[in-house]
Each structure stands twice: as C-alpha cells, then as structure tokens.
Chains A and B, each alone.
Chain A
Amino acid sequence: MVKKIGDKKVGKINPTDVAKEIERAHSVSEVAPVKATKGVQSVSGLSGLSKRGATRVMSLAEREELLRLVSEEAERMFPKGTLPQDKREIIEGAVKMALDSALVEEKD
C-alpha cells in the first residue's frame, strides 16, 4: 500500500540535544603493521625537469685514472694519420689541464 502524502501530519519538532561534554581522546595503544606494498606498475612522464642532467663529481684521488682515460680516448678518437701529432697534443693537453684544475683536494 502506498501512503499518501498528508496521511500523517508532523505534530511537533523535538529540540536537538546539546552536547554536554566531549570525551577525552584515548592515547594510541598500538599501530597495525604496515601491509606490503605492491610493485609500482608504471611511472608517468617526468615533468618540470628544467635543470641540466646529473653531473658526476670528481675527486683528486682519481686524477691519474682520469688523465689516463683522456690519453686513451684521444688515441681512439684521433688514431695515427687522422690528425697531426702537435694538434693532438694541444687538444689532449687542454682537456687534461681543464680536468686537472677542477680536481680539488677536499679537506676542512
């Protein structure tokens, strides 16, 4: 049976109860263990990357190794007959000097 509107009239509205007190908050007694996370499925595209790519900081300890690598790479890049010896010396020397000047002894 469907009740018709107006079947039962509202007689009065009871006043709402006013909160008399607030219960004290209980201290946290325990925290449930953290559930294992699932593997990240995807990463959205990077945004806001406006800085130059990461750089690798050098140390004075690797000086000899770095200078050796310069000679090795210069030999690979300019094998015999591709560049006059004196030009190769200038290019290789310049790279070594620039690198060497950047290798600072880190001490307080």
Chain B
Amino acid sequence: MVTGENTEIIASTPLSKEEVEQLVVENQGWAESIARSVARAWSMDWRGDGLDGAAMEALLFCARRFDPARGIPFRGYARRRIHEASTEEARKSKSWKTGFQYKGSGSNQDKARELSVKLLDIFPELREGSLPFGEDDDVRGSIRTMLVGASISAFKDGIDISSPEDAMDFKKVVGIVGALEPIHQMLIWKTYWEGYSLRTVAEDWGTDELNVIREHKVIIDYLSKCFAASKKALRPKIRPGLRPVAFKLKKDLDMGPFAQILVHTKLSK
C-alpha cells in the first residue's frame, strides 16, 4: 500500500481510496436494490438473510478493482457480480435450507427456486438485467427460450425414472431432441446438460458466436412447438455457417448424445 499526502492508493487498484469510497457511497442504494430484487424473487428477507451484506461486499470488491480507463460504466461492470453475491448468500441462508414448506407453500416452490438458480447460470444476461436473446425486442421469444431451457434442465435434474409419469415425460423430451441433427443435439447437450455458454460452445467449435446463437434460437423455437404439440414443426436444417462443424461431428460421432440415450436405455422400447 502506498500512502501519499492525502491519497492512499490500494495496491493493484487503479482508483485512489477516496475514489473507491465515493463509488461505494454513490452506488450503495443501487447495490441494495439488487439484493432486494433477489430476496423478492425468492420470498426472502434481504436483511435477515444477509443479502445486504453480500451485496455490499461485492460492491466494495468491484469498486476496488474498477478501472475507468477500460471504458465500461461501473454499474455495467459490477451488476452481475453483485447479483451473483446476493444469490450465493441467499442459497447459504437458513430460509433457503428450510424452504417454502416452512412458509406453508408446497415443495414445488422449492424446486422452482432451485431451477431458477440454474436458469441464472444458463442465461447470465439475466444477472445484468437483460432478457436473454432479446433480439428484435422479441420478449415472448426470450420467455419461450427460458421455458424450454427450464424444461430441459428440470427433466435432466428432477427426473425420477422409477416414476412412470416422469419416465414418460423424459422419454418424450429425449425423443424430440434425439430426432434432431447430431450438431443440434450436441448444442442442447452442451448448453443445458453440461452448462456451457453459447460463447464457449462457439469457441470449442471454432466458429462465429452468432452462428451458434442463431442456431440455438431456431432449435428452441422448434422445441417449443414440439412441446406444445399444437402443430407439426419442421425439423430445423443446419445453417451453412455450421455445416463444416456438423460434418466433423458426424465423422466423430455415430449419433447425437440424446439419440445415444434412447439407444442405450430402455426408453426407445
């Protein structure tokens, strides 16, 4: 730590101590409102469950590391981290562990809460206050994407194969996704089963991120139609930008991961 006449500079921070303090003071109310939002969504007490402290710690952490020279506004830089800190604290709290049962609600609410945490990881834009894939102001499209994502994650984690009802639902989902092109199965697998972001999938495949984002949107639209079973949807084709990847995948894999589940379990019978 270097101490000047009136200015103390914290090691490895681009801002002086006074500037850090000023950032914290200016954004304290905003950070608290993030903690309150998380508490509201999960019916918790933002102070009693310690979300206020977690948000403040994250705010201070971000203020110390904020570098204005990078050209990113402070709130744009800090929002995701403060949201993450608040959700992490919420999950550690007693209210979370006791669950909604304690408040007289059903266990479905507890399962929904667990699933919502997964959605925040799958769609990190939410932590920044944005709708995922909200291109062209398509709010309904974003919501459908989240519903499909939640469905796939719910089937993945909450499945009780000994229950005939669950087994039927699982078979339906795996059957629909397993009928897709192997590259499309792989995209859904990596995103919802393995938790990769679309950006990481694009990097793995050595292709442009927009190719993967747009392909994902087409698949989600298709899956939402299939889940609704209202009309027969046309199976999506592979866009030209992804054909080299699809060709390579086909060479490496006999079939897509969901088709493999169908073959290797009794579900196909």
Q: How many residues of B contact A (CB 8 A)?
A: 64
A-B interface, 8 closest residue pairs, ranked by CB to CB distance from nearest: A56-B134, A93-B112, A55-B130, A94-B115, A101-B41, A100-B41, A97-B116, A98-B119
Contact: A76 with B115, CB < 8 Å? no
Are the C-beta atoms of B142 and A105 separated by less than 8 Å? no
Q: Which residues on the A side are within 8 Å of B227 (C-beta)?
A: 77-78, 82-83
A70: B residues at CB distance < 8 A:
143, 146-147
List B contacts of A108 (CB < 8 A). Answer: 26, 29-30
Contact status B150-A82, CB under 8 Å:
no
Instruction: Give the nearest-CB partner of B148 in chain A.
Output: A77
Query: Closest residue of chain A to B116, judged by CB?
Result: A97
The reply to whether B135 and A53 contact each other, CB–CB distance below 8 Å, is yes
CB atoms of B112 and A104 under 8 A apart = no
Q: Which of B10-18, B121-129, B232-240, B253-261 is the interface stretch?
A: B121-129
- A41 CA to B130 CA, complexed, in Å: 34
Q: Contact flags (1/0) for A28-50 with B, using CB distance below 8 Å? A: 00000000000000000000011
B108 touches A93 (CB 8 A): yes
Q: A69-B140, A98-B41 are in contact. Are A57 and B129 (CB under 8 A)?
A: yes
Counting CB contacts under 8 A, is B120 at the interface? yes
Question: Known contacts being A82-B227, A90-B158, is A100 close to B144, with CB within 8 Å?
Answer: no
B93 sits at the interface (CB 8 A): no
Provide the residues of chain B in CB contact with A104, threshold 8 Å: 30, 33-34, 37, 79, 129
- B126:A102 contact, CB within 8 angstroms: yes
In chain B, positions 222-266 with a C-beta closer than 8 Å to chain A are: 224, 227-230
Q: Does A9 contact B (CB under 8 A)?
A: no
Q: Given A83-B169, A97-B42, A107-B30, is A102 in contact with B129 using a C-beta cutoff of 8 Å?
A: yes
What's the least CB distance linking A75 to chain B, in Å? Answer: 10
B227 CB, nearest partner CB in chain A, Å: 5
